[in-house]
Amino acid sequence: MPDMMMPTTAAIPVLPKESVMRAREVSAQVAKPEHASHTSPASARKGVFASIAASVAFAALFSVPGMLTGLDPFATFGWRVIAALPFLVAILFVLRQWGQMGELLGRIRRQPMQLGILAFNALLFGVQMFLFAWGPVSGNALAVSFGYFLLPLAVVALGVVFLRERLSIFGIIAVVLAAAGVTIAFVAGASVSWATFAVAVGYPAYFILRRKFELDTPSAQSLEIALLAPVSLVFVLQPGAFEGLSAHPGNWYGLIALGLLTAVGFSAYTLAQRNLPMSVFGMLGYLEPILLVVVSVLLIGEPLGLADALSYGAIALGIIALGMDGVPKRSRSKQAKRPRPRASRIARRKSAQVSRR
């Protein structure tokens, strides 16, 4: 009998310890979805804090270009990209993302088309960064803020058109309210311009391309900003860019703020996306456009007319409707998972009777 058992025991392979550990790491990464529907309380708190920090950082960043004396929007954009790079590199070191960067570079070597997609994403991203610097110094801060108000609703519309997603009743209400807000803006002459639609359409296209080609990582965004560096150098080396910076010593503090807030904002945004369910992440993302309007009116000093208030009010109601989408489903799912009290009492009663017998 022992002789018959020997071949079975010898047939069991013994894996090296490193292979076992590597397999466990891979299985853990596969088992953990990127946007989990159920997150631990610690991860949820981290994600909420990161989302709020990102919104506050971008709102504070919106006020910086107007404080830079003697710099036009092109020079401000160039300095912002250059100043953000060292902070982004430092954050990659802190978060230990260099392994992810190596994987991305290896994928680009195997698939050169990825570099073209990354460059196109960098172009779309650069346009948005320029508008963010151009709006506050050109009297178009409210127009750019209006685009960020429309952004979540534009994502819904693009999902219906390109991804064939179906709208719920709350989604339909949100789109109708957004259309009403845009109509009021056009009829009453609110602060709407081409920049509004450049933000509302350009950013969703950027998000869709990043998600489709799996380039929605901190390392990919760092490469996008690195690809913008040559263009930024062209703007920075223009006559007047250095003179305007050196003529006013306070500009150096503004330059540091540009780089730091850009890096912190994007990094916190990515951290929130990884630690929150998409529904919660999307709802918290609506804080940013509200803060941008507050900064535009209180810090930059742009007037908020009646037409602007009506337009923003309609779109804000649409955002609330969009945030309510899925709440009844979540409530029903929780109730379905919860055992019925009556059934549980009957089961305990029967168990007690059996034990007494």
> According to the model, what pLDDT value does residue 118 have?
93
Question: pLDDT confidence of 124, banded at 50, 70, 90?
Answer: very high
Phi, psi of 133 (to 5 degrees): -85, -30
Q: What are the C-alpha distances in Å from 36 to residues 169, 276, 327? A: 25, 7, 17
Question: pLDDT confidence of 83, banded at 50, 70, 90?
Answer: very high
What's the rounded mean pLDDT across residues 260-289? 76
> According to the model, what pLDDT value does residue 128 have?
92
Q: Which range is least confidently modeled, 42-51, 69-78, 283-292, 324-333?
A: 324-333
> According to the model, what pLDDT value does residue 6 have?
46
Stronger pLDDT, 327 or 274, i.e. the higher one: 274
Contact 308, 191 (CB under 8 A): yes
What's the rounded mean pLDDT across residues 130-143? 87
pLDDT in tens, 185-241: 777 766 678 898 899 888 888 877 887 888 877 888 889 999 999 999 999 888 777
Q: Is the pLDDT of residue 333 over 50?
A: no
In the numeric block, which tokens belong to residue 110? 């195997």
Which is nearest to 288 in space by CA: 85, 42, 52?
A: 52
What's the rounded mean pLDDT across residues 73-92? 90
Q: At what angle do helices 141-162 and 113-137 cross, to 10 degrees?
A: 150
> According to the model, what pLDDT value does residue 32 have?
40
pTM of the model: 0.68
> According to the model, what pLDDT value does residue 38 have?
52
DSSP 175-223: HHHHHHHHHHHHHHT-S--HHHHHHHHHHHHHHHHHHHTT--SHHHHHH
What's the rounded mean pLDDT across residues 85-100? 84
DSSP state of 221: H
Q: Is the pLDDT of residue 323 over 70?
A: no
Give the Cα separation of 181 and 289 in Å (integer). Answer: 15
Percent of the chain at pLDDT > 70 equals: 74
- For residues 318-345, one letter each, b for 16 or more C-beta atoms within 10 angstroms of the residue's C-beta and e for the rest, the string is bbebbbebbeeeeeeeeeeeeeeeeeee
Give the Cα separation of 133 and 72 in Å (integer). Answer: 9
In the numeric block, which tokens belong to residue 136? 């506050």
> According to the model, what pLDDT value does residue 1 have?
44
Q: What are the C-alpha distances in Å from 260 to residues 70, 88, 130? A: 21, 9, 17
> According to the model, what pLDDT value does residue 271 have?
79
> According to the model, what pLDDT value does residue 213 have?
87
> What are the sequence ranges of the domains in the chain?
41-324
Give the Cα separation of 229 and 85 in Å (integer). Answer: 9
Q: Is the pLDDT of residue 297 over 80?
A: yes
Q: Which range is least confidently modeled, 33-42, 223-232, 316-325, 327-336?
A: 327-336
Contact 194, 339 (CB under 8 A): no
Question: pLDDT confidence of 81, banded at 50, 70, 90?
Answer: very high
DSSP state of 299: I
Q: What are the C-alpha distances in Å from 14 to residues 9, 11, 24, 25? A: 11, 9, 15, 18
In the numeric block, which tokens belong to residue 138? 């050109």
> According to the model, what pLDDT value does residue 165 have?
66
Q: Hey, is 214 helix, strand or coil? A: coil
> According to the model, what pLDDT value does residue 5 have?
45
The overall average pLDDT reported for the chain is 75
Q: Is the pLDDT of residue 338 over 80?
A: no
What's the rounded mean pLDDT across residues 144-160? 76
Stronger pLDDT, 116 or 170, i.e. the higher one: 116
Contact 222, 92 (CB under 8 A): yes
Q: Is the pLDDT of residue 182 over 90?
A: no
DSSP state of 65: G
Give the Cα separation of 106 and 98 in Å (integer). Answer: 12
> According to the model, what pLDDT value does residue 8 have?
45
Q: Is the pLDDT of residue 123 over 90?
A: yes
∠ CA 195-199-204, rounded to 5°: 155
> According to the model, what pLDDT value does residue 352 have?
52
